[in-house]
Every structure is written in C-alpha cells, then in structure tokens.
Amino acid sequence: MLTLDRNLLHRFGLLLVILLVGLFLSLSDDIFMSVANLTNVARQVSINGILAVGVTFVLLTGGVDLSLGSVVALSGVACATFAHPGDHSVFVPIAVGLLTGAACGLVNGTLVTLGGVAPFIVTLGMMTIARGLALIFSGGRPVADMSNELTALAGDLFGIPIPMLCFAGVAAAAWFFLSNFRLGRHIYAVGGNENAARAAGVPVEQVKLFAYGLCGLLAGLAGVVLAARITTGQPNAGQAYELDAIAAVVIGGTSLAGGVGTITGTLLGVLLIGVINNGLDLQGVSSYYQAVIKGVIIVGAVWLDRRQARS
Amino acid sequence: MLRALELRKDFGGLTVLHPTSIDFHPGEVHALMGENGAGKSTLMKILAGLYQPDGGQVEWRERQAEFTSPHDALVAGIAMIHQELMPIPDLTVAENITLGSEPCSAFGLIDRPAQLARAKELLGELESDIGPTRLMRTLTVAQTQVVEIAKALGRQADVILMDEPTAALSDHEVASLFRAIARLKARGVAIVYTTHKMDEVFRLADRISVLRDGRLVGTAPASELNPAKLITMMVGRELADVFPVRLPSSNEVLLEVTGLTREPAYRDISFQVRRGEVVALAGLMGAGRTEVVSAIYGLQPASSGKICLNGSPLSIGNPQDALTAGIGMVTEDRKGLGLIPALGVGQNITLSALRDFCRGPLVDHTAEAAASQTQMTEFAVKANSTSQPIAQLSGGNQQKALLARCLLGAPDLIILDEPTRGIDIGAKAEIYALIQKLARAGKGILLASSELPEVLSLAHRIVVLRRGSVSATLDAASTDQETVLRHAMPL
C-alpha cells in the first residue's frame, strides 16, 4: 500500500506541475488554450511519446538506449525510399520503416545479452552506425517524393491527428502489456534483480532482447510518422531525440537502475516536456534559453521526485 | 559509555521500536537477542547513525549525541558490522578494508604499501589468510564477512556494533572472531552483538538484552540466564524441541549425481538422494557445498559428470532447465540471488511458477493473487498485503517467501542452501518442520548447511565435503559432530 500511495502522490504531483504550467501559459497567452494549439501540442508530443514508451521497456530492464534518434532517421529514410508514388502499396514503406527500427533494436539486444557489452556502449555505437547508414542510403540528401497515402499519416482522422492516435494506441498497448503479460512481469523482475530473476527461472536474455527489439520497433514507427509529417526521409532528423525520450521517462518516475516505473508516469513526463516546449515557443523565448530552461526543469523535476521518495 | 534513552523508531506508521533504554559499558560484550523483526537491527542502526530515531536520544560519553550519518558515528568512535554484507566488488580486499580511512602519504596520494600492510595486520587479527590484493568479487560469502569484520576492527572504534557477524562463518572462523573480540574487550572496547546462535551468546556475552516485538523484555547478566530462560524471554512462550522427529525414507532413488566435476571448485562428486530423504552436504567454508548445489540447479553448471532425476539423465544448463525437470532451490544469497526487492511479496512468490497462473501469455491476476495469498498463509509470511515490497520484510519472512516461491512449482527435489542463515529461532523451527513435512510427502531434500546441529538432527545421511571432494558419507543417526568435523577438516 505504501508504494501505491507514493505512486499516486508522485503522479498527482506531476499532474499538478503540468496543470500549473498549463494555467500559467493560458493566463499569459490566450493562444495556448486554443484548440489549434492544443492539437499542435498533441502532434508535437506524439513522436517523443512513442519513443518514450519504447525506451521505458529498456530502462525497466536496467538498460538504456541512446540510438533512438539515429534509428528514427534511418527508419524514416528507409520508409521514404519505398514510398515513391505508384511504387508500392502504402503498407510496404510502413513495414520497411518498422522492420528497420526493429532490426536495429534486435542488434542492440543481441550485443547486450549474448555479447555482454554494456548497453550504454552498444547503443552509443548503434547511434553513430544508424546515423551513418541513414546518410549512406540517402546519399546525404533528403529522400523526397513521397506518396500522398503515406504523408496522409500525418493528417487527421475524425479531427484527431493520426500521430496522436498512434501514440495513444502504443501507450495503451504498452500499459496493458506491462500489467497483464507474463513477459511484462519478467521485465520488472529482470530490472529489479537480474541474477535473482535468472535463478527463479526467468529467461533473462530473451526478456532483454524483447525490450530492445520493441524499443527499436517503436523508434521505427516514430521514424515513419516523422517522415510522413515532414514529407521526406531526412538522414539528419531526430538528433538528440533519445534525450527527450529518456528525460520524459525518468521524470515519470522510472528508475534508471531498472525494475521500477510505469507507462502512466511516462505519459505524464511526455506531457510535461511537450507543454514546456510549446509554452516556451509561445512566449517567444529564444531557443538558446529554451535549452537551458528545459534542462533545469528536467533535473528539478527528478530531484523533487527523489526527495519525495526518500522522505 | 553509550546509552540508548527511550529510543523509538517508526516505519510507515508502524512502530518497530518502542521507547527502549539500554546502557552499554566499555570492555563488555552486550548481546541483543530476539526474533527477526524484534527491533535489534533497528536499534543498532540508530546507534550507528544510519537511522534517525523518531523519539528519545542517544547519549555518548554522558552527552547527547546527534549522529545524522554513519560518518558522524564513525568519527565519534562507533563502528558497525552489518548483517547485509556491503562489499565493493571491484575493489581489492585491502581497498575495501581501508575504505574511508585510506592511509595517505603527502599530497593525499594513497600509500599502497601501508594500505596492504594495514589490511594484512587486520586480517591477521582474525587469523585469516585471505590475500589482500584479491578482488572482493572473487571471495565467498564467508570470506566477504571476514573482510567486513576486519574493516570494522580497523576503525579503532570504542564501540563496535556487530549484527550477526557469524551468520556465514564456519566454526573455525567463529573461533578466530571470538579470540579477536576477547582482545578488543581487554582493550576496553564495548561490543554490541546480535546472533541467533544460542551457544555463541553464552560463550561470549557478559550482559544480555532481549527484545520482542520492538519492546525491551529485559536486560540481565549472562550468568543469570540459561538457554531455556532466554528462549522463553525471546518468544514469550516455552518452545518445545525445535527439531521434529525424523521419519524413515523410502528406497526409491530420486536424484543420482555421478562424478560431478568443475575444477578447481570440486571434483568427482557422487551421491544419491532418495524420495522422503534429507541428505545434507556438510563441510567447512570453501569446501564446495554451494558450488555443488549450484551446479545441480544450473546456476553454474559442472564441466563434467552426470545428474539423473527419477532415473533419467538431465542436461541442466540454467535454472529454467532445473525447474522444468522438477528441481527447486532456495539460495543462501537471499539478497543477490533471491529477492526482487521492488516487487511485492506476492509477485516474488509467484515468479518461478508464473506460467501456472497464466492464460496464454496473460497473467490471470485473480488466480495469481489467490495462489500467493494461500502460500503466504501456509508459510506464515507476515506482510501487510501481497503487494508490500518484499524488501520491507524481515529476514525470516523473506526467507519463508522464497521457500514459498520454490515450493509453488511443486518440485520433486528441493535444494536448500543455508536455509536458516540469519533468521530467528521461531522461523527456524517453522522451516525445520516444513523440511520434515516435505520429506514425508515423498520429496527429496538436499540441504547444504554449515550448522552442524541442524545437519545432524534433520538429515538422514550426511555427505561431507573436504576441499571439493567427498571425504565421507555418514549415517546421521549413528554419527556425531566430532566425526563430521574430523572428515571435514583438511588433513
């Protein structure tokens, strides 16, 4: 009961911060609460949200994935390459993008489990490899000329942005998975105490492989969505996306040591970062200052949270 | 010299230590006795500055002391040996021993030769021959414990708090520790000591305080107490003989191990476990007990040899294989290989057998909750609810939860590695009774233990290991401690 209360407190605390920031923004700027702007916020957080959900799985196992941004770019390029009008059905470029991401994730997972290399190093390597591959396949130029069917993915369905729907679907599925699947329980066990999990008969290697693979797959999805939104496969896209994603997850209460964390926490973390980004834009804060303010808020939020957890 | 005055501690609204006052005197060994969860460790941790009291105060040399961290207490002259070992695995033995008090030369550089000499000297005081340049992670649990004791000795403290320092030690090492304690006493050091081993208390203690359910039952000179009186004070009731009666085993061979070898840890290990039989693996520290049972459970497979269960040969590469074959194990390393600290008690219990409470890949939460509730009741695991994180439970309750995990999958062969290490006499009796019950139900039990009374009373047969080889297989009914020890000691 104790931890449940703490989780609730934590979530309410975070929710309160988000509401306060929102209130401040809506008072100081009447554009903020407009439907157009809120839709815009939803659209903006979607990609970070999809990445954050994926990397939640990896962080829960006690690992980390620094390659997300590069994998987004590589998947976007791969998707765009197959998305020229009239070439294939729209499902082909989508599948190619997803599989590219999943493949990167599985390579990460294999090196971490079978290779025994630290996740930080493996995914740091993948970060530059995937970026390099994206540049190689695209010849260093944006891959343009994408079919309308694919770019329509960035549009609306019944007035709701499709990226937002993707994010919501992914988050709901991830939440259900972690709380109801045996594999979900195993992810918590591996992150909580890997050796004890192995001794209890948990297939630790398979569990980790799954987490990295899923994280890669979702980075692939983010790549496809991004390509659709900017109507090109940009080899230089997604720089430092992993940092916003990891920041959102950690703000949401997931432990970097693994074993503790929830998808709802991650959602709130994503929302907070999204609202801050949007708010700073609306206030006309220069991007130089934005970076500083965002960094302070990230560290401050986690510091407050840990202080609360200790008391 | 050191005085606890009406100390009180609450955890999450629960008072684990009611206002308690005890005086500790220089040159005296003061034993704190009580079952797990009685408040001994809590009291010690307050004295060592690790916990802040919620009431009362600590008096140190006639003055009120505020230890806000273990560092404050250390500076004042109070050192603690923790029950849960806290080594830094990738530093050397010498670096661990001198951690925080490294001998430095000019410019603040570490004086390596002095560091090594200091470590050697302190280990020498404990009559140990552990090499000071070895990495901590290469040591056994018992050796780690010796190093932790050496570390506390090195603090030159006036008070040393020892929380179950002998839990992992062999008789031989315990004797060395006791001689070191006698020397400390002669120097006027105050020792505060907790243990679950009755014989130790009366060999060592000058004064005994008994705690029960967070309350001080009483303090008395050791000479005025005896084991029976002490147990009555601890449990609040008379405890009949803790060892239940042994029943005859069947003739049906359940486990047959032949020629199990992994150099240099052990070689050519052969023995059988029949249905309904308790077989004990005895031996000194480093004899290979844990290594042999780890091989059978697949934690660290042997390089050669044969393991047959129910007559069919098994190839066990990891614990999953062992569990599938019907072999379960409760580890000696509760913290490292047992608990998933952040998960609830219930989820810890169902972890190994989770598949049985799933529909396809989905966990059936109702069935799981029912099963973990049943196990908690059956094994008398005391917790607020199934979702209370297992890290918050006392050692005895954690151990019972791990037993519940092991048995939920209904294994045929149950391996118990030091199943009563560091748990109180009440929980011990429960575990002994459980072992007999399992044997009666036709299970085979392989018990690795360093506690000879336990081995002699529970086991049907005793396989004695000496430096990684079987030195004797004895019939427990017709042998005694001396015979077992004779076979266990290096020639």
Per-residue pLDDT of B275-334, as tens digits, reads 999 999 998 777 889 999 999 999 999 999 999 999 999 999 999 999 999 999 999 888
Residues in a beta bridge with B80: B161
pLDDT score for B38? 80
pLDDT of B272 above 90 = yes
- Give which of B316, B351, B362, B368 to mutate to test A binding, by max A Cβ within 10 Å: B351
Q: At B74, list the tokens.
A: 């250390």
Does the complex come out with an ipTM higher than 0.90?
Answer: no
A81: confidence class by pLDDT, cuts 50, 70, 90 = very high
Per-residue pLDDT of B74-99, as tens digits, reads 888 999 988 777 788 899 999 988 88
B401 Cβ neighbours under 8 A, 6+ residues apart: B345, B348, B349, B376, B379, B381, B383, B390, B393
pLDDT score for B24? 93
Q: How buried is residue B91: exposed, middle or buried, by Cβ count under 10 Å (0-12/13-18/19+)?
A: middle
Q: Nearest 5°: phi and psi at B304?
A: -150, 170
DSSP state, B160? E
Q: Nearest 5°: phi and psi at B211?
A: -110, 145
Which residues from B are below 8 Å from A199, CB to CB? Answer: 297, 299, 319, 329, 331, 337-338
Report yes or no: B260 and B268 within 8 Å, Cβ to Cβ. Answer: yes
Give me the residue spans of the domains in chain A.
47-265
Q: What pairing do the DSSP bridges indicate for beta strands B327-330 and B63-65? A: unpaired
Residues of B engaging A, defined by a Cβ cutoff of 8 Å: 12, 297, 299, 318-320, 322-323, 329, 331, 336-343, 347, 351-352, 354-355, 358, 361-363, 365, 384-385, 387-389, 392, 405
Per-residue pLDDT of A254-283, as tens digits, reads 888 899 999 999 999 999 889 888 888 888
Domains of chain B: 2-235 (3.40.50.300), 253-488 (3.40.50.300)
From CA A108, how far away is CA A121, in angstroms rounded?
10
Nearest to A130, CA basis, from A96, A106, A100, A94: A100
Report yes or no: A242 and A69 within 8 Å, Cβ to Cβ. Answer: yes
- Give which of B141, B294, B343, B355 to mutate to test A binding, by max A Cβ within 10 Å: B343
Per-residue pLDDT of A96-109, as tens digits, reads 999 999 999 999 99
pLDDT score for B239? 46
From CA B219, how far away is CA B210, in angstroms rounded?
6
Task: Tell me whether A192 touches chain B (CB under 8 Å).
Answer: yes
DSSP string, B112-150: HHHHHHHHHHHHHHTT----TTSBGGGS-HHHHHHHHHH
List A residues 252-271 in contact with B (Cβ-Cβ < 8 A). 259-260
pLDDT score for B104? 83
Mean pLDDT is lowest, of A210-219, A247-256, A293-302, for A293-302
pLDDT score for A8? 57
Angle between helix A91-113 and helix A119-138 axes, rounded to 10 deg: 150
Per-residue pLDDT of A175-188, as tens digits, reads 999 999 999 999 99
CA distances from A220 to A82, A105, A137 (A): 14, 9, 16
DSSP H/E element including A12? helix A2-28
pLDDT score for A2? 41
CA distances from B34 to B57, B110, B165, B375, B430 (A): 22, 42, 15, 26, 16
Q: What number of C-beta contacts closer than 8 Å exist between A and B?
A: 85
Quote the minimal CA–CA distance from B382 to chain A in Å: 15
Which residues from A are below 8 Å from B340, CB to CB? Answer: 188-189, 192-193, 196-197, 200, 259
Task: Tell me whether A13 touches chain B (CB under 8 Å).
Answer: no
Which residues from A are below 8 Å from B384, CB to CB? Answer: 1-2
Q: What is the mean pLDDT of chain B?
A: 88
pLDDT of B19 above 60 = yes
